[in-house]
Every structure is written in C-alpha cells, then in structure tokens.
C-alpha cells in the first residue's frame, strides 16, 4: 500500500485541498455567525485606536475635503481660472484652447 492509500484508509484528507464550491458555501453559511462577529470586533478594535472612534470614519473624509478645498480654492486661487487648471497637455480642453488661439 502507498502512503496516499494508507492515509485515505485512515480517513485523513489531503492538507490544503480545496472543497467543492457547494461544500465551501455550505461551510460559510454554517459559520455565518462567527464571520459577522469577527467583522464586528475587527471594526471595533480598529476604531478603538482612534480617539473619535467610529465618528472618525465620517470626520476623516469631511476634513480631507475641507483641506483640499482650502488648498486648491484659496491658496492656489483656482476658482478664478479653472479652465487653465483642467487644460493639461494632450487633454481635449487644452487641444480646444490651442485650436481657438490659432484662429
């Protein structure tokens, strides 16, 4: 007998063998409570490191938008000549502007 036959006869399975899709989905469904609990605790643990906690998830994008608005709107004063900012070389806006100048 070979080692594989001995292992199979003893009821052992190959390590790392992938189950069929149906069997995999069944196992996921059986462990759904664990998956939800794990996700909840991971989110909680990650947000507990920050002082604002879960509010930081909402505050961070708002602060980022405010900082970008300050930099691009006030410091660079892009609200005056927005066409020039969008007209990078090779873009349709830049090509149109060059075409209009040549007339």
Q: What is the pLDDT of residues 37-92, one digit of tens each?
A: 999 999 888 777 766 777 877 888 999 999 988 887 777 666 555 555 555 555 66
Give the pLDDT score at 88. Answer: 55
Distances 55 to 44, 48, 59, 61 between C-alpha atoms, Å: 12, 11, 6, 11
Structure tokens that stand for 36 in this block: 């939800």
Helix (H) or strand (E) holding 100: helix 92-102
Select the highest-mean-pLDDT range: 10-24, 42-56, 87-101: 10-24
Question: What are the φ/ψ torsions at residue 2 (nearest 5 degrees)?
Answer: -90, 170
Q: Is the pTM of this model over 0.75?
A: no
- Radius of gyration for the alpha carbons in the chain, expressed in angstroms and rounded: 29
Number of domains in the chain: 1
Question: Which domain covers residue 31, as residue numbers?
Answer: 3-102
Going by C-beta distance under 8 Å and a sequence separation of 6 or more, which residues neighbour residue 93? 83, 86, 87
31 has a pLDDT exceeding 90: yes
What stretches of 10-91 show up as alpha helix (H) in DSSP? Answer: 21-30, 32-48, 55-69, 82-86
């Amino acid at each position: 007998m070979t080692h594989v036959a001995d292992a199979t006869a003893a009821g052992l399975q190959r390590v790392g063998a992938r189950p069929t899709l149906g069997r995999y989905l069944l196992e996921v469904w059986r462990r759904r409570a664990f998956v939800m609990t794990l996700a909840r605790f991971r989110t909680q643990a990650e947000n507990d490191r920050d002082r604002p906690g879960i509010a930081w998830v909402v505050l961070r994008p708002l602060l980022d938008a405010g900082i970008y608005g300050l930099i691009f709107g006030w410091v660079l004063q892009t609200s005056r000549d927005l066409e020039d900012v969008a007209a990078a070389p090779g873009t349709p806006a830049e090509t149109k502007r060059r075409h209009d100048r040549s007339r």
